[in-house]
Amino acid sequence: MDHQDLTLTAAARHANAYKIQFWKEKMTILVTGGAGFIGANFVLDWVANTDEKIVNLDKLTYAGNLESLAPLKNKPQHVFVQGDIGDSALLPQLLAEHQPRAVLNFAAESHVDRSIHGPGEFIETNIVGTFRLLESVRGYWQSLAANAQSQFRFLHVSTDEVYGSLAPQDPAFTEQHAYEPNSPYSASKAASDHLVRAWHHTYGLPVLTTNCSNNYGPLHFPEKLIPLMIVNALAGKPLPVYGDGMQVRDWLYVKDHCSAIRRVLEGGQLGETYNVGGWNEKPNIEIVKTVCALLDELRPRADGASYSQQITYVKDRPGHDRRYAIDARKLEKELGWKPAETFETGIRKTVAWYLENTEWVAHVQSGAYREWVSKQYTA
């Protein structure tokens, strides 16, 4: 090896060392769907708990709401970009510019009822969009120096609905449960989970997947069960309950979900799936009655009657799963995570938040939203 080769080798070593040091100092993550319900809560908690920069990519479809991120205005730590995870020109540009050490994918069409009426958007975003995102991330990851490659993570946020429905006596879903999706939404999320797994096993992409139970809490778009009950109750409208109201779900406070995702990102084993649940199995009608009781206490009706008088049973939706339940023991055993909130503490915080943030609710209740609710919940 001549002098010139030695010089080039030394320069390469120096450049690589600089790249590694730059990686350590820069510390950025990129989230997709960070203006939606879970994503916005994650972004707010991230900024509150760390100094690390967070790049937030969101398409701002109907459930994406920049008002949810208002506390981060003028904070340089948070960089918002409006865009689509399926944009194969934008994603590589963002990744090259910001050099994130991790990408967290919250972006998804996520409402079962909407998927029944219009499955095409769910296929496009949740399957095709995830594929294009994975390809963009793979290209970026392969361009990194070896040390940065080993530290990089792609975390995919998914749902327990991919597992299908449980009978009353069945044990809760573990990570080994077969995929048996029953709605266009859950089928699209199952497909996205399979893509993430395949990109790990085929290309070596360092991935992590979380499958969560029903989230509730602040910033929830008021078409989902709990916020819809709160908003309708206060407006004196009927509280629509599907079928007999005995569909059982495990309820997870959104801030607990966010802490679980941070823990999996920090310590999760590559290629593994972690179920995230709140250990709160309850039938829907019990949830509705609990919300009514809290409103009776915190914001009584003028006539002194209970909000529960507004409960109205409506025709069940097609293919409505009867029971979901998450077994989150793997996450507790391997990573030491447990939810901080009980359902009783979490639902009280949630109702209080909606009572204190009526302006936020009013701003998301567009004409299109009102038309959707009247179309969906017919007696």
Q: What is the CATH number of the domain that holds 180?
A: 3.40.50.720
d(CA 135, CA 52) in angstroms, rounded, equals 25
Judge whether 4 lies within some domain.
no
Classify residue 1: in a domain, yes or no: no
Single-letter amino acid code for the residue at 102: A
Domain count along the chain: 1
Structure tokens at 16: 């690589």
Residues in contact with 59: Cβ distance below 8 Å, sequence separation at least 6, in sequence order: 82, 83, 84, 85, 107
Do the bridges between strand 102-105 and strand 153-159 make them parallel or antiparallel, or are there none, so unpaired? parallel
Token output for 203: 């290309």
Give domain status of residue 7, yes or no. Answer: no
Whether 17 maps to a domain, the answer reads no
* Residues with catalytic roles: 160-161, 185
Tens of pLDDT along the chain (379 residues) come to: 444 444 334 444 444 443 444 444 569 999 999 999 999 999 999 999 999 999 999 999 877 889 999 999 989 999 999 999 999 999 999 999 999 999 999 998 877 778 888 898 889 999 999 999 999 999 999 999 999 999 999 999 999 999 999 999 999 999 999 999 999 999 999 999 999 999 999 999 999 999 999 999 999 988 889 999 999 999 999 999 999 999 999 999 999 999 999 999 999 999 999 999 999 999 999 999 999 999 999 999 999 999 999 999 999 988 788 999 999 999 999 999 999 999 999 999 999 999 999 999 988 886 443 454 455 445 4
286: in domain: yes
Range of the domain at 162: 27-373
Q: Residue 216: beta bridge partners?
A: 253
Are 291 and 226 a contacting pair, CB within 8 Å? yes
Is the pTM above the cut of 0.85? yes
* DSSP assignment of 280-312: -EEEHHHHHHHHHHHHHHHS--TTS--GGGGEE
CA angle 59, 62, 68 (to 5 degrees): 80
Residue with tokens 């009927």: 238
Give domain status of residue 12, yes or no.
Answer: no
